[in-house]
Amino acid sequence: MDGTCCGPGYASPAEAIRAPREKLLYTIAIYTGTGIQKPDYLATVDADPDSPTYSQVIHRLEMPGIGDELHHMGWNACSSCHDDAGMSRKYLLVPGVRSNNIHIVDTATDPRAPRLHKIIDGAEIKSKTDLSGPHTVHCLGSEIIISFLGDAKGEAPGGYLHLNKDFEIVGRWEESMGDIPFGYDFWYQPRHNVMISSEWAAPNTFMPGFDLEEVGHLKYGRRLHVWDFEARKPVETMYLGEDGLIPLEVKFLHDPDSTHGFCGAALSSNVIHFWKSDAGTWEWEKVIDVENEPHPEWPIPVPGVMSAILVSMDDKYLYLNNWLHGDMRQYDISDPHNPKLTGQVYMGGLLGKAPKVNGVEVAGGPQMFQLSLDGKRLYVTTSLFSTWDNQFYPEIREKGGVMVLIDCDVENGGMTINEDFIVDFGQEPNGPSRCHETRYPGGDCTSDIWL
């Protein structure tokens, strides 16, 4: 298979790295939880440094309703169907985690001005599958699966919605949820017939806001789950305990032959490394531990709250955020058992180390981020979830979110904030909005999976 194959995506991670530079970004922007009665929208940001509108929002696709809480999104197709001439990476699936609606957005007809293609009604999803709280979207060859965090009543564990390529509901994807207590993120590695899923909490638990006591009452996750991918069943659990409180984002290495992967545990602010041993058993270890920091206004030291992680396309670097501390970090994971800290920058956060970036006051801290395919540019946004934002960073209501660009040294390691790029969502036409996840038209480091 060569790089000129007929379908979407790339023949290999190496081909993806050589792809053209991203010139547009699609970023979720929300009014849910701000007090502004306007729909959430998909913002198109100009990322071409040669363009007169560089670092500006050039288009806004409003959703039909109010209160969706757009959160995560994903493509209809990725490199898993690279050899399928009938597929193209044309549609972005944008779920509302509160409304349950899944918005199918056409990004191909006019990439600078995406348009709404179809809506899968949240009520229909609830009635046909007993699922609510959509989260992670992954393409599955020509099919699509989406993790849901709850049942129709908002109770855990939820499950997985299966859509066909025409965005019709097939049903539940999984054959069984086994004894899994919570759902959240997932990533699959087909050559090893494995999927790993993680845990947040029931929608009824996390949606009103964060209550630390509920962690002690076991209402938040602390496990990773190993699935038999073909059988669609969980077969093993890795109990992480205090080292893995609220294990959120799961990322395998991009190399489809590898079994190594990582998970960021938000509350314990740890990175968990997992892999399949030579004996065929799944193992895990804590490889990064971010210490809590004292704060004059907090009764306890402030945890980092590592809500996201990302692996570069060449599998050399892992990036993580500490949402409450306000820093982004880069680790060299050439030896996955021994990550080495190679870069760190601050933007916002509670520790007061970078209250302003490029002249803009940052409300919130680094939260979601997306890396360019060549690994050189990291786009970072500041909103986590509306009720949690309001709880920990109440000033974000007036100031809105920001998007920052971090330049990454892929040869020697290192991170610097790009002084020519800042998108201030506090200045949006309808009032301050908050920005969350970002995707690129050509695919990105958190989309593509190779069969």
The DSSP annotation for 374-441 comes to TS-EEEEE----HHHHHHH-TTHHHH--EEEEEEE-TTT--EEEEEEEEEEGGG-TTS--EEEEEE-T
Q: Residue 39, CB half-sphere, CA atoms under 13 Å: how many?
A: 13
Structure confidence at residue 90 (pLDDT): 95
Residues whose CB falls within 8 Å of the CB of residue 224, separated by 6 or more in sequence, listed in order: 196, 197, 198, 199, 237, 238, 240, 244, 247, 250, 263, 272, 274, 284
Structure confidence at residue 2 (pLDDT): 43
Structure confidence at residue 233 (pLDDT): 98
Element at 3 (helix H, strand E): none
Structure confidence at residue 128 (pLDDT): 98
Structure confidence at residue 5 (pLDDT): 65
Q: What distance lies between CA 45 and its chain's CA centroid? A: 18
Structure confidence at residue 3 (pLDDT): 45
Q: Residue 146, CB half-sphere, CA atoms under 13 Å: how many?
A: 36
Query: Cis bond leading into 157, ω under 30°?
Result: yes
Structure confidence at residue 4 (pLDDT): 54
Structure confidence at residue 7 (pLDDT): 85
Say if strands 369-371 and 24-30 run parallel, antiparallel, or are unpaired.
Answer: unpaired
Residues whose CB falls within 8 Å of the CB of residue 6, separated by 6 or more in sequence, listed in order: 83, 84, 85
On whether the CB atoms of residues 233 and 241 are closer than 8 A, the answer is: no
Q: Which of 377, 376, 375, 361 is nearest to 432 (CA)?
A: 361
Please return the burial class of 260, using the count of CB atoms within 10 Å of its CB with bins 0-12, 13-18 and 19+. Answer: middle
Every domain of the chain and the residues it spans: 13-439
Q: How far apart are CA 106 and CA 184, in angstroms?
A: 26
Q: How far apart are CA 425 and CA 165, in angstroms?
A: 34
Sheet with 402-408: list strands edge to edge. Answer: 369-371, 377-381, 402-408, 415-424
Structure confidence at residue 203 (pLDDT): 98
User: What's the Cα-to-Cα distance from 178 to each of 69, 125, 159, 181, 271, rounded to whole Å?
Assistant: 29, 21, 11, 9, 26
Q: What is the pLDDT along the chain (451 residues), one digit of tens a residue?
A: 344 567 899 999 999 999 999 999 999 999 999 999 999 999 999 999 999 999 999 999 999 999 999 999 999 999 998 989 989 999 999 999 999 999 999 999 999 999 999 999 999 999 999 999 999 999 998 899 999 999 999 999 999 999 999 999 999 999 999 999 999 999 999 999 999 999 999 999 999 999 999 999 999 999 999 999 999 999 999 999 999 999 999 999 999 999 999 999 999 999 999 999 999 999 999 999 999 999 999 999 999 999 999 999 999 999 999 999 999 999 999 999 999 999 999 999 999 999 999 999 999 999 999 999 999 999 999 999 999 999 999 999 999 999 999 999 999 999 999 999 999 999 999 999 999 999 999 889 999 999 9
Q: Which of 298, 126, 109, 305 is nearest to 215 (CA)?
A: 305
Strand partners, 290: none
Q: How far apart are CA 98 and CA 386, in angstroms?
A: 11
User: What's the Cα-to-Cα distance from 188 to each of 136, 167, 196, 307, rounded to whole Å?
Assistant: 12, 21, 6, 20
Q: Which of 146, 149, 177, 178 is nearest to 162 (CA)?
A: 146
Task: Using alpha carbons only, give the angle 438, 316, 196 rounded to the nearest 5 degrees.
Answer: 65
Q: Any idea how long the chain is? A: 451
Side chain identity, residue 40: D
Strand partners, 310: 319
> What's the CATH superfamily of 13-439?
YVTN repeat-like/Quinoprotein amine dehydrogenase (2.130.10.10)
Structure confidence at residue 1 (pLDDT): 37
Residue with tokens 């899994």: 180
Structure confidence at residue 141 (pLDDT): 86
